[in-house]
Structure 1
Amino acid sequence: MRRTWWKRILAAVTLVGVLIAAMFITVPERKELTVLESALRDVVAPVQTGLTFVSEEAFSRIRSVFTLGRSAETDELRQRIRNLEGELVSLEEFRLENERLRALLVYRDGQDQSRLLLARVVGRDPGNWFSTIRVNCGSEDGVRQDMVVVLPSGLVGRVLAVAEQTSDVLLITDARSGVGTLVQDTRLPGVVKGSLDRSGRLRMSYLTREEDVEPNQAVVTSGLGGVFPKGIPVGRVVSVSNDPSGLTRSAEVIPMVDFDHLEEVFIILSH
């Protein structure tokens, strides 16, 4: 009995399938449907809609069952990757800082350590990058106005203003700065100032015409003026030109210090 019932259901489903197939096959060939085909389409349409809905719903549920665990696992793995990438960036920053500080300590060990105060750059004007910097040492650390600021590579500038815990440093690349200097090879004196175009280059002025100045010659502080100690590297000559007066010459100088990447500096507490 039960077997006969299943046979009837199977036959009905087969018949409906054949009718639907016949209907779709005949649609492209004729523009008009027969009365029987039209009636069958109207009868079958709700059944077809129901079957489509049931199949889509079943597929959606099956897909959610198989992807639920994987999706959660994938999200967790992605978060772990982001965390690891952040840790790698932090470790690389520590490594670079360690290298910079090690080089600074090597330089300090070769100097009078009581004279050098290590300071971190904590502020800079983006609109006037080569003018001043702010460091995290002030009067509480023994810093005073006009103290000299240096790096192992050369002269940075001098202290312009002092607060209790911070100080502003006037860079030698600022046009307001003036440093008594010498061409190291010839001992030819001059004055180095920052460029008005804020390019980060220096201009060495008041060079006499009697002595030659060549590109790549080193420029050091002369010690004149009482602010900057003698012999601190300042830069190297790039080019030389005659001044409008015709009496003196000027040299364009590239600083020894990389002013684009100042992070730590030394303040000379006395000299």
Structure 2
Amino acid sequence: MLLLVIFISLAVMKSTATQRSNITFLEKVIRDTYVPLQGGVSSIRNNWDGWTAVFSDKSHMQQQIKLLEAENSQLALENQSLQEYKQESFRLRKMLNFDNANRENYDLLPAHLIARSPNNWYECITIDRGFRQGVKKDMAVISPNGLVGRVGSVSENSAQVNLITDREMAVGAIIQKTRETNGIIEGLGDSNQLRMINIPYYSKIKEGDRIVSSGLSAIYPPGINIGTVTEVSREPNGLLLVATIKPTVDFNKLEEVFVITSYHPVEVFEEEEE
């Protein structure tokens, strides 16, 4: 009721104030009381509107951040897929070029690596080709970079390949340039090292020499890259030398290979040094 009276009084004073030069004492008291109150209410309303706008903007910004984070995650996945496609395209193009360049020497069957045991990482791999695709035991397996190993066992649609890094493997080898030193390559169970043994003490083998398969067995064709000599030392008996070989194949990045289903023994494959 009091508020209604004050409101009516204010309305009357406002309507008559323009007709009088002076205001009454009561009008002055009411005006002095009302004006600060009106200013305070207006200030509170303005502040409330401001805080409401701030909270609204903050909520909008949080929504935008979430949207941007989702878009960023999607772009990262797309970029990862694109990089994977590029890498696969590069590898397959390299495989195709290698196949085209060696068709006169080999019949090559491409295969993908589908399994690898953590317990024997450098001993064997499983590929997605078996006897239904023409794979047989003891066929040589290569990549565009060099010798990978040989087929150890075969099933209908897959085969196990024993890697040359396996300690049980042995491959006849020679120096590529001089065609001398018929040694034997042994695996060390390590992706970065092989060992060449049975090297005569008078051999001129040295660091940097390229080692290739000798072709003296019925399994491996001659001239396939095996690795590069990194060290030469003399065995304790002093009659033979032993060489440490770095493989040309990166067995940690092996994904595709070729199975040599047949080859012409008189032909010698020698990949040019890069």
TM-score above 0.5, yes or no? yes
Per mean C-alpha deviation after superposition, the further-off stretch among 59-68 and 125-134 is: 59-68
Aligned to 2:127: 135
Structure 2 alignment gaps of length 5 or more: 1-8, 15-26, 264-274
1:238 partner amino acid? T
| Per-residue deviation, residues 65-113 of structure 1 (Å, max 9, x unmatched) | 2333333233223322221221122112111111111111011011228
Structure 1 alignment gaps of length 5 or more: 18-51
In angstroms, what is the RMSD of aligned CA positions?
Answer: 2.8
Greater helix share, 1 or 2? Answer: 1
Q: Which structure 2 residues correspond to residues 118-157 of structure 1 after superposition, within 5 A?
A: 118-157=110-149
Aligned to 2:250: 258
Q: Which structure 2 residues correspond to residues 1-271 of structure 1 after superposition, within 5 A?
A: 1-2=9-10, 5=30, 7-9=32-34, 61-112=52-103, 115-184=107-176, 185-195=178-188, 198=190, 200-271=192-263
TM-score, normalization by structure 2 = 0.75
Aligned partner of residue 269 in structure 1, secondary structure: strand
Q: Percent identity?
A: 32
Distance 2:96 2:85 in 1: 16
How far 1:55 moved relative to its partner? 11
Q: How many residues align?
A: 234
Distance 1:9 1:262 in 2: 87
Distance 1:219 1:11, change over 3 A: closer
Distance 2:36 2:55 in 1: 34
Contact 1:191/1:205 (8 A) holds in 2: yes
| Per-residue deviation, residues 205-227 of structure 1 (Å, max 9, x unmatched) | 11111222111112111112211
TM-score, normalization by structure 1 = 0.76
How far 1:57 moved relative to its partner? 7.8
2:69 partner amino acid? R
| Per-residue deviation, residues 117-168 of structure 1 (Å, max 9, x unmatched) | 1111122233433221221222222212111110122101011122222222
Distance 1:212 1:64, change over 3 A: same
Distance 1:91 1:245, change over 3 A: same
Contact 1:130/1:200 (8 A) holds in 2: no
